Amino acid sequence: MIGSVRSWNPPGRRTKKSVIRALATAAVLAAAVAPAIPASSAPLPGTISLDGSNFEIEKNADIIVDHGGDDWASIPQGTGDNQEHRKDDLLSGPSDNSFAEGTKENDTAAPKIGTGSIPNNKSDLKTFGVYTEKTAADRNFLNLFWTRVQDPTGSTNMDFEFNQSSTLSSNGVTPVRTAGDLLIGYDLPQSSVNNPDPTLDLSLRRWTGSQWGPPQILSQQGDATGGINTTAITAADADGLGALSVRTFGEAQLDLDEILGSGSTCTTFGSAYLKSRASQSFSAVLKDFIAPQSVQVSNCGSVTITKEDDDGAPLAGAEFTLFQDGQATTFTCTTNAQGICGPINNVPAGDYVVRETDTPDGYEPAPDEAITVEAGETVTVGPLVDTRQTGAIKVTKVRKIAGSGNDSSQPHEGVTFQVLGTTKSGVTAIDAMGDATVCFDGLPVGTSYTVHEVVPAGYRGEADKIVPVTRAASCTDQSFQGSTVTFRNTPLTNLTLTATPQDPGATASEFTCTNGGTLTPTSTTTTSATFNGLVPGTYTCTVVIDP
Mean pLDDT in residue range 45-59: 95
Residues across the chain: 547
Q: Which pLDDT band holds residue 264 (cuts at 50, 70, 90)?
A: low
Q: What percent of the chain has pLDDT over 70?
A: 89
The reported pLDDT for the residue numbered 261 is 66
Contacts of 118 (CB under 8 A, 6+ apart): 92, 96, 98, 124, 287, 288
| Coil, strand or helix at 294 | strand
Task: For residue 359, give the amino acid letter.
Answer: T
Q: Which pLDDT band holds residue 119 (cuts at 50, 70, 90)?
A: low
Half-sphere exposure of 348 (CA within 13 A, CB side): 13
CATH for 301-386 is 2.60.40.10
- Do the strands 483-491 and 459-460 form a parallel or antiparallel pair, or are they unpaired? antiparallel
φ, ψ of residue 74 to 5 degrees: the values are -100, -5
Rounded CA-CA distance 341/334 in Å is 5
Mean pLDDT in residue range 65-83: 89
The reported pLDDT for the residue numbered 395 is 97
Mean pLDDT in residue range 435-445: 95
The reported pLDDT for the residue numbered 546 is 87
Rounded CA-CA distance 361/516 in Å is 51
Contacts of 466 (CB under 8 A, 6+ apart): 448, 449, 450, 451
The answer to whether the CB of 250 falls within 8 A of the CB of 155 is no
The reported pLDDT for the residue numbered 81 is 63
Rounded CA-CA distance 387/144 in Å is 50
Q: Which pLDDT band holds residue 97 (cuts at 50, 70, 90)?
A: confident
Bridge partner list, 495: 531
pLDDT winner (highest mean) among 10-19, 256-265, 289-298, 424-433: 424-433
Contacts of 202 (CB under 8 A, 6+ apart): 184, 185, 186, 187, 217, 218, 219, 224, 225, 226, 252, 254
CATH of 390-491, one of 2.60.40.10, 3.40.640.10, 3.40.50.300, 3.40.50.2300: 2.60.40.10
The reported pLDDT for the residue numbered 122 is 59
Tabulate helix, strand, coil % of the chain (nearest 5): 5, 45, 50
Domains in the chain: boundaries:
39-298, 301-386, 390-491, 493-545
Handedness of CA 524, 528, 534, 540 (dihedral sign): positive
Q: Which pLDDT band holds residue 30 (cuts at 50, 70, 90)?
A: very low
Mean residue pLDDT across the chain: 87
Rounded CA-CA distance 61/231 in Å is 9
Give tens-digit pLDDT for 208-230. Answer: 999 999 999 999 999 999 999 99
Mean pLDDT in residue range 258-266: 68
Rounded CA-CA distance 341/427 in Å is 46
Degrees, nearest 5: CA angle 505-507-508:
100
Q: Which pLDDT band holds residue 12 (cuts at 50, 70, 90)?
A: very low
Give tens-digit pLDDT for 311-348. Answer: 899 999 999 999 999 999 999 999 999 999 999 988 88
Mean pLDDT in residue range 283-292: 93
| Coil, strand or helix at 3 | strand
The answer to whether the CB of 448 falls within 8 A of the CB of 468 is yes
The reported pLDDT for the residue numbered 21 is 26
Mean pLDDT in residue range 72-99: 85
Give tens-digit pLDDT for 136-170. Answer: 887 888 899 999 998 887 889 999 998 988 899 99
Rounded CA-CA distance 337/360 in Å is 12
The answer to whether the CB of 142 falls within 8 A of the CB of 134 is no
The reported pLDDT for the residue numbered 121 is 61
The answer to whether the CB of 14 falls within 8 A of the CB of 72 is no
The reported pLDDT for the residue numbered 41 is 65
Task: For residue 45, give the amino acid letter.
Answer: P
| Coil, strand or helix at 147 | strand
Q: How far is CA 450 from the centre of its chain?
A: 38
Give tens-digit pLDDT for 447-503. Answer: 999 999 999 999 999 999 999 999 899 999 989 999 999 999 999 999 999 999 999
The reported pLDDT for the residue numbered 456 is 95
